[in-house]
Amino acid sequence: MKHAVTAAMLCTALLCGCSSASVSESVPDSSSKADEPVQETEQETEQEIVQEEKEMKMMLADTPVTVVWEDNDSVKALHALAEKEPLVLDMSMYGGFEQVGPIGTVLPSDDVQTVTSPGDIVLYSSDQLVVFCGTNSWAYTRLGHITDKTEQELRQLLTNGNITVTITVE
C-alpha cells in the first residue's frame, strides 16, 4: 500500500513539474498515426466548405433572382458547367407560361410527372432548361425554384418575348 501511494505521489509530482509543451510533445508521439487521417479530413472539410461557398446564381435577362436549388445530380452537373464559365442560355417563350432554352449538353436526369408552378426551374429532355411563370404538368427533373419574385413579377420578366438566362457560380 505504501508503495502504491508513493508511486502515485511520484507520478503526480512528475506530471505537475512537466511543462505543457513536454506533455503535448509526448502525446502526438503516441498518436501521430491517428493525427494524419484527422488532418486529411480537416483539409477535405475545408475544401467542401470552399465549394459550398461558391453558389450558383441566376439572372433572367438583366434581373438577378434568388433560387433555391435542388440537391440532385442534374443540379450538380449544371453547377460544374457554370463553374467553368458563365452559362448563357437563349430562351424562347413557349405556350405563354414558360421560357425554354437549350443547355448545349445532356445532363443527368430523373424525370417524374410534375405539376409546375410559377418560379419553378426544371430540366426537360435532359438538355433544356425551363423557367415557369405559369403552370404545366409534364415529366421533368426539378432543378430549383425562384423564391424572391411574385407570379406577377415573373410574368413581367418572362412574357415579353425571348430572354437570356445566365447562370454563374460565385
Strand segments (E) across 9-136: 56-60, 63-65, 67-69, 87-94, 98-102, 112-115, 120-124, 128-132
Strand segments (E) across the chain: 56-60, 63-65, 67-69, 87-94, 98-102, 112-115, 120-124, 128-132, 137-146, 163-169
The overall pTM is greater than 0.75: no
Q: Is 41 helix (H, G, I), strand (E, B) or coil?
A: helix
The per-residue pLDDT for 18 is 44
The per-residue pLDDT for 54 is 87
pLDDT tens digit at each of 170 positions of the chain: 444 444 444 444 444 444 444 434 444 444 444 455 555 556 555 555 444 558 999 999 999 999 999 999 999 999 999 999 999 999 999 999 999 999 999 999 999 999 999 999 999 999 999 999 999 999 999 999 999 999 999 999 999 899 999 999 99
Domains of the chain and CATH, by start: 2-52 (no CATH), 56-169 (2.40.100.20)
